Amino acid sequence: MTAQVEWEEFTEEDAKLEQEEMASGGTDFWKPKEGISIVRFLPKLKGWPKPFKVTREHYITTPTGRRNYTCPRVFNQPCVQCDHANKLRTSPKKQEQDLAYDLFSKKQVYARLIDRAEPDKGAQIYKFGKMVHGELMELFEDDGDFTHPIKGYDVKIKKVGTTRYDTKYKCKKGKVCELGNMEWIAEEADLHEKWGQPISQEDLAKKLEGTILGTMLDGLPAGEPVAQLPKGPTADDDVWGEDDDEDDDF
C-alpha cells in the first residue's frame, strides 16, 4: 500500500520568492577574475542619490547554502535577526558570540560597471562589501571621479585566492580615458529599485525555514540545533583581505 504523501501547491508567492533568490544569487553578478581585472564604473543617473546602491544584508546558513536578505532596519523596521544577534553577543559562550557576529547584517554595495575585457556584455552589476567600498572612496578622494564618462579613469581590481576563505581584493587607479560607448550609461537603470529592497515578514519566514535561526525564534519553522552549527563565512570573507603591498606591477 502506497504511503500518503503530503504536498502543497506552487503559489505565486513561492514564485516571487524564487525569483528573489535567483536575483540575489552570485551567478547574476559580475565577479573579478583571478589576477587583474580592468573595469569602468558607470556614473549615477540624473535623480540618483549616488552611483552606488548601499545597503545592509543578513546572511544565513541553510541546508542548501547561504541566503541573504536586506535588513529591515534599513527601512526603520524591527529585525528579528538583529534582535537575536544582540542577545547572543553578550553570551558567555564563545560559540554563541561567533554566531552573533555571523547573524548581524553586513554592508553591501551594488554598482554598475563595464568589464574592459568583455565590453560586449555591456553594463553589469558588481556586488561588494565595505572594504572594497572604502578603497573606492579613497580613489575618489585621491584621484577624482572615476565614474565620469569623459574625464574619469578605469579601475584595476586585483584578485588573489580561489575560495571565500583566502580570497583578497585590492583596487588601484587605471588609465585615464573616456568611457567609450555612451549608451552604456542608460543600462541597468533600475539599480536602486531592483537591489536592496525590503522583505515581507512572510517571505522572511520562508527564508529562515530550516535554518538555525528558525529554532531560536518563536513561531518560525524548526531547524538544526545550535550546538551543531559551524560558524559560516561573513560577507567580508567573500570580498576582502589584508593589504598586499608585495606586487610592484599592480
DSSP result, 139-186: HHHHH--TT-TTT-EEEEEEEE-SSTTT-EEEEEEEEE---S-GGGGG
Pair 149, 45: CB distance under 8 Å: no
C-alpha span between 52 and 239 (Å, rounded): 16
Least confident among 67-76, 99-108, 179-188, 208-217: 208-217
Identify the pLDDT of residue 16. 58
Identify the pLDDT of residue 43. 97
The domain 12-239 is placed in CATH, from the list 1.10.3210, 3.30.360, 3.90.198, 2.60.40, at 3.90.198
Convert the pLDDT of each residue in 18-45 to its tens digit: 555 544 444 489 999 889 999 999 999 9
Three-state SS for 70?
A: strand
Identify the pLDDT of residue 99. 81
Percentage with pLDDT > 90 across the chain: 44
Domain ranges of the chain: 12-239
